[in-house]
């Protein structure tokens, strides 16, 4: 039973860490703000859930586990609200989402991140 708990905790903790790294890579590589918000949301929901659940398994049924659940509940409420506010604010400021097909690495970068990510650029790439 102890072993099962430890194995499950390992899987959850390392899985959460890997989701966090995937989120960081997505934040680094994705082309525009709205796709990057998807990458960041992955850590906010799944990554935090895995890490906090893995920690909760280690602390057993105690006050600490309850506090960890409380942390996750707050994260669920606040990150969704922050993402909504961020997306609305960015859209209102005139930042258009990228449209069309992202060019392959060998092609011309005329629709590169610089085209759509100009601060306050009111037109998206054609």
Partner 1 sequence: MMFGVTALLLLVAMALGLVRALRGPTVFDRILAVNMIGTATVALISTLGFVVGRDDLVDIALIYALISFTSTLAVLRFGDHERAQRSAAARHASTDGAHGSSEGGL
Instruction: Name the site residues for partner 1 (rule: CB under 8 A).
Output: 6, 9-10, 13-14, 16-18, 20-21, 23-25, 27-28, 33, 36-37, 40, 43-44, 47-48, 51-52, 54-55, 58-59, 63-64, 67-68, 70-71, 74-75, 78-79, 81-83, 85-86, 89-90, 92-95, 113-114, 117-120, 122
Measured in whole angstroms, the distance separating CA 124 from the mean position of its chain's CA atoms is: 24
Q: Which one, 85 or 107, has the nearer CB to partner 1? A: 85
Task: Closer to partner 1 by CB, 33 or 106: give it.
Answer: 33
Helices (H), the chain: 2-29, 33-42, 48-59, 63-92, 113-116
As a whole number of Å, the end-to-end CA separation of the chain is 60
| Separation of alpha carbons 38 and 44, rounded Å | 10
């Amino acid at each position: 039973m102890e072993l099962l708990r430890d194995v499950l905790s390992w899987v959850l903790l390392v899985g959460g860490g890997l989701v966090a790294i995937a989120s960081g890579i997505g934040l680094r590589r994705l082309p525009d703000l709205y796709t990057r918000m998807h990458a960041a949301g992955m850590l906010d929901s799944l990554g935090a859930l895995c890490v906090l659940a893995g920690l909760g398994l280690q602390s057993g049924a105690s006050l600490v586990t309850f506090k960890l659940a409380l942390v996750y509940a707050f994260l669920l409420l606040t990150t969704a609200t922050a993402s909504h506010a961020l997306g609305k604010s960015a859209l209102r400021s005139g930042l258009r989402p990228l449209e069309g097909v992202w060019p392959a690495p060998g092609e011309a970068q005329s629709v590169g991140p610089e085209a759509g990510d100009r601060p306050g650029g009111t037109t998206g790439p054609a």
